[in-house]
Chains A and B, each alone.
Chain A
Amino acid sequence: MVTVNGEQAADAAGKTILDYLTEHGYPGRYVAVECNGEIVPKATFEERVIQDGDTIEVVRFVGGG
């Protein structure tokens, strides 16, 4: 099982990061992705395949002081 932003994502394993983000409507241009605590460089979103057991964080900017 893969965990994305704290929730189980049954359909994630085997997909590239880019495909997963696009399918789920994440605004790819505006997010940063961390996989198992390591940053996934934007340039590798296309190649990086999500493995079973991965924990993924997708973050974006929001208002803040």
Chain B
Amino acid sequence: MKDTFTLGGHEFTSRFILGSGKYNLSLIKAAIEDAGAEIITLALRRANTKKEENILDYIPEGVTLLPNTSGARTAEEAVRIAHLAREMGCGDFVKIEIMRDSKYLLPDNYETIRATEILAKEGYVVMPYMYPDLNVARSLAAAGAACIMPLAAPIGSNKGLATKEFIQILIDEIELPIIVDAGIGRPSQACEAMEMGAAAIMANTAIATAGDIPAMAGAFKKAIEAGRTAYLTGMGRVLQRGSEASDPLTGFLGD
């Protein structure tokens, strides 16, 4: 059976969502190909009048575009950006990203819930980026999110699974796909998140800041696949150090 995951009724095989920020457009095609990515994120900005190259020209056919709402500070702004992105004619996917903090760029969970509610009702496939909090994740699920995208570490930090325990709780408790987003800096960290049961990984800075961008995209692809396979196979046992209890707990049992 093919191992796929579903977002808003769309099925995906690749579990690597690639970001397109912070690197040269000429490398995007190679990065997508080496990443094996089926989804790529984009941002929306004011257009310049001077002729400039267009990112859409560099993205191969068939790759799902995932516009984010970066720049939004409130639910209303995020909704506005989502409306504009949809008007570009690139589908109904939207990654909600609402930051009211310009120092750490941490997502505002409350505004994110509000935006999710509005956009899900309007028929968007809503993918909310959030600080991993179980209650918020439940609210997002109830609001109609297609997945939950908890951050692993502050965005762009490449620090890895700093929020591991809390992401594990989301994986255990939430029935939507959990896509670890932000902070994943190395393939080994992506692999670990997949071993934990994450549905997919979203990465950008880790690839954008590598020496060879397409090669690093390929390294992430392999790590994500390895982690996924390990998760599906079931981890082997870990030997515990320790000794038999001298007084067995079950010694009392009769019949």
A binding-site residues for B, Cβ under 8 Å? 5-6, 24-27, 30-34, 37, 39, 41-42, 57-65
Contacts and interface: CB of A to CB of B under 8 A. Distances in A.
Interface stretch (B14-22, B110-118, B190-198): B14-22
Contacts of A61: 42-44, 54-56, 65, 67, 85, 88, 90
Interface string B1-37: 0000000000000000001111101001000000000
Interface in B34-62: 41-47, 49-51, 54-56
Given A59-B44, A59-B45, A60-B47, A65 B205 contact: yes
8 shortest interchain CB distances as A-B pairs: A64-B43, A65-B19, A65-B204, A63-B20, A32-B87, A60-B47, A63-B21, A24-B49
B84 A34 contact: yes
Nearest to A25: B49
Contact of B70 (A26, A37, A41, A64): A64
B51 A25 contact: yes
B89 interface: yes
A39 B46 contact: no
Contacts of B80: 34, 37
A50 B50 CA distance: 21
29 contacts: A5-B47, A6-B46, A24-B49, A25-B51, A26-B47, A30-B47, A30-B54, A32-B84, A32-B85, A34-B80, A58-B46, A58-B47, A59-B44, A59-B46, A60-B88, A62-B45, A63-B19, A63-B22, A63-B25, A63-B43, A63-B55, A64-B20, A64-B41, A64-B42, A64-B70, A64-B204, A65-B21, A65-B43, A65-B202
Interface string B125-152: 0000000000000000000000000000
Interface of B: 19-23, 25, 28, 41-47, 49-51, 54-56, 65, 67-68, 70, 80, 83-85, 87-90, 155, 182, 202, 204-205
Nearest to A6: B46
A42 B147 CA distance: 30
Given A30-B88, A41-B87, A62 B44 contact: yes
B223 to A, nearest CB: 18
Contacts of A25: 49-51
B68 A65 contact: yes
Indicate the member of B42, B46, B182 with the most A CB atoms within 10 Å: B46
